[in-house]
């Protein structure tokens, strides 16, 4: 087994270690906020540089579109995206003060808050499609595997992009609804781009994937057992943009300007799929040919707080958190809901 494969038996230790790193970053951050460009009580007429932690995936296309279309410039913001390799790194950078905003999954934000880390969603990120026909995520198996139903995943090894992340949460919800105990499935952590080859080699028997990798696996005769996010809850809130309490309390005017621009960007992206497909290859390794055909995430400016709460209920059922966290603790009061 490759060193990069982690299973659920050590997931708690891994999660604790990652949260420890994030906590250390939080405790070492300056009480005056970030030093990368924002200033407390910033004027709406002064151009301010803000940094945003992102992942190199299609989900954050609205941010890049908003920069290109001038939505942030209209709010006197110079936005600098900082691509990072995982959600924990984004949270750590925001709490440490090197980034003002970050893009992260719902499960990650809930887990951070459950460990006392003061981060809040300020805007929507992206959502699951409203039905399986437009799904941009999936649980897939390789051709000839003999696995034809979710119930057959018991005793199998399934890849997710992170332990106790959004993919594993959706997988566990689907397993439960199909009468399969999540503890009977061995989940291992693999990056999205390496999942197709690991599936083809038999290293894992199923993967929890997102586009464009869903299409890549299907093109090689892979089969979708179930949509992933759409299988857990159609239109569920997958991710959002967040900030820490230092910024939210120290410079709410700056946060409001960012939120105004990102909300406009989210609505623009949903209404202009051709523009999304054109910009994705400029900041990811996804080719123009693949971007032209892949199913796109769903975007919109309203943050689905009911979905966040339902995901918390599942997290509590699975033992990931001890208690459901109030929405007011997870979502900034100025966020569009």
Tell me, yes or no, whether 225 and 271 share the same domain.
no
Whether residue 224 is predicted with pLDDT greater than 50 in this model: the reply is yes
pLDDT at 6: 41
**CATH number where 254 lies:** 3.40.190.10
In a domain, 253, yes or no: yes
Q: How far is CA 290 from CA 32, 216, 281, in A?
A: 44, 9, 9
Tell me, yes or no, whether 226 and 137 share the same domain.
yes
Tell me, yes or no, whether 34 and 71 share the same domain.
yes
Helix, strand and coil in the chain, % to nearest 5: 45, 20, 35
Smallest CA-to-CA distance from 261 within 37, 47, 87, 33 is with: 47
Last residue of a domain, one of 205, 232, 259: 232
pLDDT at 44: 54
Give pLDDT tens digits for 118-130: 999 999 999 999 9
Tell me, yes or no, whether 182 and 140 share the same domain.
yes
Whether residue 26 is predicted with pLDDT greater than 50 in this model: the reply is no
pLDDT at 8: 53
SS3 of 169, please? helix
Give pLDDT tens digits for 91-142: 999 999 999 999 999 999 999 999 999 999 999 999 999 999 999 999 999 9
In a domain, 114, yes or no: yes
Structural domain total, the chain: 2
Tell me, yes or no, whether 242 and 123 share the same domain.
yes
Tell me, yes or no, whether 148 and 203 share the same domain.
yes
Tell me, yes or no, whether 272 and 257 share the same domain.
yes
Whether residue 173 is predicted with pLDDT greater than 80 in this model: the reply is yes
- pLDDT confidence bin for 46, thresholds 50/70/90: confident
Whether residue 242 is predicted with pLDDT greater than 90 in this model: the reply is yes
Last residue of a domain, one of 202, 232, 262: 232
In a domain, 1, yes or no: no
Tell me, yes or no, whether 247 and 299 share the same domain.
yes
Mean pLDDT taken over the chain: 88
Whether residue 76 is predicted with pLDDT greater than 80 in this model: the reply is yes
> Is the pTM above the cut of 0.85?
yes
Tell me, yes or no, whether 293 and 257 share the same domain.
yes
Give the percent of the chain with pLDDT over 90: 79
Domain hosting 33: range is: 8-128+235-330
């Amino acid at each position: 087994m490759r060193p990069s494969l982690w299973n659920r038996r050590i997931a708690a230790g891994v999660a604790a270690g990652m949260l420890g790193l994030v906590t250390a970053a939080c405790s070492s951050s300056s009480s005056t906020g970030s030093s990368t460009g924002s200033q407390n009580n910033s004027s709406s007429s002064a151009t301010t540089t803000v940094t945003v932690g992102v992942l190199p995936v299609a989900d954050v296309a609205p941010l890049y579109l908003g920069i290109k279309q001038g939505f942030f410039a209209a709010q006197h913001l110079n936005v600098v995206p900082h691509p990072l390799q995982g959600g924990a790194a984004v949270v750590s950078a925001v709490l440490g003060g090197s980034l003002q905003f970050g893009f992260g999954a719902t499960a990650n934000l809930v887990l951070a808050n459950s460990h006392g880390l003061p981060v809040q969603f300020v805007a929507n990120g992206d959502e699951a499609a409203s039905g399986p026909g437009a799904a941009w995520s999936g649980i897939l198996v390789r051709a000839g595997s003999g696995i034809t139903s979710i119930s057959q995943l018991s005793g199998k090894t399934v890849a997710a992009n992170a332990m106790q992340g959004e993919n594993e949460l959706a997988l566990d919800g689907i397993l439960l609804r199909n009468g399969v105990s999540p503890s009977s499935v061995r989940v291992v952590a693999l990056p999205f781009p390496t999942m197709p080859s690991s599936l083809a080699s038999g290293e894992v028997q199923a993967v929890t994937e997102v586009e464009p990798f869903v299409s890549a696996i299907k093109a090689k005769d892979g089969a979708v057992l179930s949509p992933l996010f759409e299988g857990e809850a159609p239109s569920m809130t997958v991710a959002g943009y967040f900030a820490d309490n230092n910024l939210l309390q120290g410079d709410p005017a700056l946060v409001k300007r960012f939120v105004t621009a990102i909300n406009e960007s989210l609505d623009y992206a949903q209404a202009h799929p051709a523009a999304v497909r054109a910009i994705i290859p400029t900041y990811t390794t996804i080719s123009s040919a693949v971007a032209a055909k892949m199913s796109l995430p769903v975007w919109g400016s309203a943050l689905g707080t009911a979905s966040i709460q339902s995901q918390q209920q599942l997290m509590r059922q699975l033992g990931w958190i001890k208690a459901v966290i109030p929405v007011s603790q997870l979502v900034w009061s100025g966020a569009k809901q």
